[in-house]
Chain A
């Protein structure tokens, strides 16, 4: 069991030198850097997708477990994302991003957002054998993208870009006290999750009055099951959290060991001051329904019509008959 929290700031972008930012893409854009970064772009109407990127060089050692935090605002109607690249101790380059990550192809909301990235996780997922010792992230990119036929003026405003180190508190027992953002319980070697049905977690938790948290069950770098957002209760500190593969829609900032299965309890708001893992029940089901499946449309429609005959037509016809018969008797 280990408690994880954000450590001191190890790097912060001052947004005071425009020449440290490079634009890439054929679409004309206006980049302004003055205590914050502002990118304005006009996407012309095209039948293909369009994108523009801005790059910045950094040097963030991975053995410090850096967490990058961005404060930004992106216009609605387009998407954006953040990508990283780095070099190993022997100066071999590697990509530290992957498709499917929550950092890619995010919908612009037109409101201020805070986006965080765990650089160790982002590097380890596409490079499972990567050694963190001596490796560092050397480049960060922000991109804007427009789907086909999307046109108009759009913007991105970045007001904060920094990296924090990570503080870890390890505990040999199943409980830990301190001041944490995330708790990670290592459950041993990664297990196959193909038939995973549910995970029940019995836990005791205390924290700040605004604490809300999300439990995750991860195997390797994958989130296999996720729970609701939970808040602390007045009646008891105990919670029985239900995690399901059907509920997975995010990933925790700090994941467990990429070779293990882990329970990750991630604070959404507030801090966790005490955590005890009481029980965990991992349930597998031999005939688990898939999340999506392909079925011939005609067959589906025929089955639904057959279903409707028994659900609506026969009962309503019979009721009409019963009502009519009664009327006749009166």
Chain B
């Protein structure tokens, strides 16, 4: 293996393992730890697992290795105020860390550019999510990225399966899958459409099998309705609409349906007008869908990470080098915003929130500052995607800093909006 590739890979791996050995999101890691312990300590499958079942299966698989080394006599320790043990937390994050390495490999093979692959693997946001937080978005992104590469190689059936697997980790994977199905319908490839539908339904039913015994009611109400905007819980979202209005939506905001209609209609119009390669349209409208979800839906901070590999792929396909460079800056800034405005710097490290840097953390109406800055970056990203290819300039950093400072001044110092 090329020395530069190996060095990049090792740095990406080491920083993740190092951070994962002590840091973690206390609530999310607590949820995962509870569910895997429940299975290995009592034999009970946790039908109230807070995410899709495929994530649980993968965690159970890797956790089995941990139970073996515990049985062999390993004494594990709790670090400060974290709910899980140190090695235990590492094993729970191992699948996501390996998925990050997989994404690095797929991007490197597809683009042939170490720089592009490094923009993902060494992006502070992907390190922050898998290494520090313990999020599993990379489990969804690996088959997603692989799916686009398979589309580029015209292996549509495998691409569909890859997108389905991605969607079974996080529902976003079903967006390119759905667009691919719409393409088949419009091209009157009904057999392919039927195969996609059959495989999609079959794999979804297979992963849901353990829920049939206990009834799907809890899964339907606790998960499906939550993401379709039909949940009963009035919970806070991170999007700009909620941040400014103080509204609490039941699951996703109803605006997400409007965004969905716009994305699908635009994709159909785009495909009808030109018969170019499907990959470009698929990537383009998947990026727009991800941006729409970040603006109109619950907009969980980790969802911003989906745009990083998608932007890198789109940058390569359309020769938009500036977009690939921007994706790195996007991740870097998202990490800073998430740590300072949404969590505080000590939260993932010590397990309890505390504002060490009082000028940056624990601010009133920090959610609005975050929403405004994220929105500005999303608009800039769409600019890189839709406008003619341009270089990434240092002015973009200055512009983002100015927007952040303006939002900081008006919403946390002047407090022009009090929610």
Residues of chain A whose beta carbon lies under 8 Å from any beta carbon of chain B: 197-198, 200, 202, 212, 227-236, 238-242, 246, 281, 283, 285, 287-293, 295, 297, 300-301, 303-304, 307, 310-312, 314-316, 318-319, 322-323, 325-326
Q: List 8 A-B contacts (CB under 8 A).
A: A200-B48, A241-B232, A300-B356, A307-B132, A311-B19, A319-B119, A322-B122, A326-B115
Whether B235 and A228, one on each chain, are in contact in the complex, defined by CB atoms closer than 8 angstroms, is: yes
In the complex with contacts A289-B352, A304-B356, A316-B30 CB distance below 8 A: no
A161 vs B132: C-alpha distance when bound (angstroms): 53
Q: How far does the Cβ of A231 sit from chain B's closest Cβ, in whole Å?
A: 6
A312 vs B33: C-alpha distance when bound (angstroms): 27
A297 vs B231: C-alpha distance when bound (angstroms): 41
Q: How far does the Cβ of A38 sit from chain B's closest Cβ, in whole Å?
A: 27
Interface residues of B in 174-206 (CB under 8 A from A): none
A307 interface neighbour in B80, B83, B115, B349, Cβ under 8 Å: B349
Residues of A within 8 Å of B84, CB to CB, are 287
Interface residues of B in 205-249 (CB under 8 A from A): 217-218, 220-222, 225, 230-235, 248
B96 at interface, CB cutoff 8 A: no
Whether B115 and A311, one on each chain, are in contact in the complex, defined by CB atoms closer than 8 angstroms, is: no
A227 vs B221: C-alpha distance when bound (angstroms): 15
Whether B345 and A304, one on each chain, are in contact in the complex, defined by CB atoms closer than 8 angstroms, is: yes
In the complex with contacts A231-B250, A235-B225, A300-B356, A314-B26 CB distance below 8 A: no
In the complex with contacts A304-B356, A319-B328, A287-B78 CB distance below 8 A: yes
B351 at interface, CB cutoff 8 A: yes
A286 vs B22: C-alpha distance when bound (angstroms): 19
Whether A311 and B132, one on each chain, are in contact in the complex, defined by CB atoms closer than 8 angstroms, is: yes
Whether A310 and B349, one on each chain, are in contact in the complex, defined by CB atoms closer than 8 angstroms, is: no
Which one, B123-131, B138-146, B309-317, B396-404, is touching chain A?
A: B123-131
B11 at interface, CB cutoff 8 A: yes
Closest to B19 in A: A310
B8 at interface, CB cutoff 8 A: yes
B15 interface neighbour in A246, A304, A314, Cβ under 8 Å: A314
Residues of B within 8 Å of A292, CB to CB, are 352
Complex A-B, nearest 6 residue pairs according to Cβ-Cβ distance, in ascending order: A315-B122, A228-B233, A289-B26, A240-B222, A230-B232, A310-B15
Closest to B113 in A: A326
Residues of B within 8 Å of A232, CB to CB, are 232
Residues of B within 8 Å of A281, CB to CB, are 48
Q: How far does the Cβ of A149 sit from chain B's closest Cβ, in whole Å?
A: 20
Residues of A within 8 Å of B220, CB to CB, are 236
Whether B352 and A202, one on each chain, are in contact in the complex, defined by CB atoms closer than 8 angstroms, is: no
A287 interface neighbour in B7, B12, B83, B349, Cβ under 8 Å: B83
Count residues of chain B with CB under 8 A from any CB of chain A: 61
Q: How far does the Cβ of A142 sit from chain B's closest Cβ, in whole Å?
A: 27
Closest to A229 in B: B234
Residues of A within 8 Å of B7, CB to CB, are 318
A246 vs B347: C-alpha distance when bound (angstroms): 15
Whether A231 and B234, one on each chain, are in contact in the complex, defined by CB atoms closer than 8 angstroms, is: yes
B4 at interface, CB cutoff 8 A: yes
Residues of A within 8 Å of B225, CB to CB, are 233, 235-236
Q: How far does the Cβ of A10 sit from chain B's closest Cβ, in whole Å?
A: 34
Since A289-B82, A322-B8, A326-B114 are in contact, a sample of 12 more A-B pairs with Cβ atoms closer than 8 Å, ordered by chain A residue number, is: A233-B231, A242-B222, A293-B81, A295-B354, A303-B349, A307-B349, A310-B18, A312-B332, A314-B11, A316-B124, A319-B118, A322-B122
Whether B233 and A315, one on each chain, are in contact in the complex, defined by CB atoms closer than 8 angstroms, is: no
A283 vs B119: C-alpha distance when bound (angstroms): 41
B51 at interface, CB cutoff 8 A: no
A212 vs B234: C-alpha distance when bound (angstroms): 9
A18 vs B46: C-alpha distance when bound (angstroms): 63
B122 interface neighbour in A202, A229, A283, A319, Cβ under 8 Å: A319
In the complex with contacts A230-B232, A322-B114, A304-B352 CB distance below 8 A: no
A292 vs B124: C-alpha distance when bound (angstroms): 28
Interface residues of B in 10-61 (CB under 8 A from A): 11-12, 15, 18-19, 22-23, 26-27, 30, 33-34, 48
Whether A197 and B30, one on each chain, are in contact in the complex, defined by CB atoms closer than 8 angstroms, is: yes
